[in-house]
Amino acid sequence: MASARSEPRVAVHADDLTLAYGADDVAVSGATFEIPVGGILGVVGEAGSGKSTLARAVAAQSVFGEGENPHVQGGRLEVLGHDITRTPARQQAGLALRVGYLPQDGGSTLVPHLTVGENVAAPIYQRDRRFDRTQAGAAVASLVDAVRLPLSVMSKFPHELSRGQRQRIALARSLILEPELLVADDPTMGVDVLVRGRILTVIADLQRERRFSALVIGHDIRELRTMTEQIAIMHGGLFVGYGQVDAVLAAPLHPYVAALAEVTRR
């Protein structure tokens, strides 16, 4: 009798991963990390440290305006059991359907001439043009409610919402296909400080309810630690800290990590 196939324990696995643009522009070098199924990894670092490159590689997709995609120049990257370095482009497109991607300033990627409801539903019809509209409407309404917005916003257009509201609608759109993994690239970027915590709380609550895995990029370690205890700290394309937040900050191995530890003590 054949044994039952065991479910994978790791959603994302990177081993000595190097990511580059073109032939020589290395953006991430030697990164090794894991995201367990149902877990969250927070990634923090200054601008230009390679965070967004890492997010785009793990998401295996991009949005209009992001330019050239990074490629794996060395090491290994597995996402939901697929080796990104060996997966053909057609299979990567299928993988992208299992990964929700919220790019930097995701609210600005909403289509301006579509209503909020149509924006959230768009991935459904990109996958299946004949999908039942009643079912799609119910799924959209459920997610709009889940991101703590009134259902009345569904008939509005993006420009009628605040930046924080647009960001939450972009989050709803990234989750509409019920992905196994969410990649959120600095979801609070440019959002008023009073709204940032609310956005991260929504992501954390949805992650617990829907049990997806998540990679969340941020710039403030104090904000990220409200939603996860697992952190990676990037500086100059390198991982200079990785592990449980308190342990990483208690014994910093790099001046940048020491500076972050000092900030958290204030």
Confidence (pLDDT) at 3: 44
Confidence (pLDDT) at 88: 65
Distances (CA, A) of 259 to 86, 223, 252: 39, 16, 9
Say how far apart CA 64 and CA 203 lie, in whole Å. Answer: 23
Confidence (pLDDT) at 42: 97
Q: List pLDDT tens digits, range 212-260.
A: 999 999 988 988 998 999 999 999 999 999 999 999 999 999 999 999 9
Confidence (pLDDT) at 10: 94
Q: Which sequence spans correspond to the domains of the chain?
A: 10-107+181-265
**Please, are residues 70 and 58 in contact by the beta-carbon 8 Å criterion?**
no
User: Length of the chain in residues, anyone?
Assistant: 266
Confidence (pLDDT) at 6: 53
pLDDT at residue 2 tops 50: no
Find residue 19's DSSP bridge partners: 28, 72
Q: Averaged over 80-85, what is the pLDDT? A: 89
- DSSP secondary structure code for residue 185 in this structure: E
Run of H or E residues at 118: helix 116-127
What is the CATH T-level fold of the domain 10-107+181-265, as seen in this structure?
Rossmann fold (3.40.50)
pLDDT at residue 4 tops 80: no
pLDDT at residue 84 tops 90: no
Q: List pLDDT tens digits, range 123-155.
A: 999 889 999 999 999 999 999 999 999 999 999
Confidence (pLDDT) at 91: 66
Confidence (pLDDT) at 90: 66
Report the DSSP pairing between strands 40-45 and 71-79: unpaired
**Please, are residues 30 and 75 in contact by the beta-carbon 8 Å criterion?**
yes
Confidence (pLDDT) at 97: 85
**Please, are residues 54 and 42 in contact by the beta-carbon 8 Å criterion?**
no
Report the DSSP pairing between strands 181-185 and 99-102: parallel
Strand, coil or helix: 150: coil
The percentage of residues in the chain with a pLDDT greater than 90, rounded to a whole number, is 73
pLDDT at residue 62 tops 50: yes
Q: Averaged over 78-106, what is the pLDDT? A: 83
Higher pLDDT, 10 or 6: 10
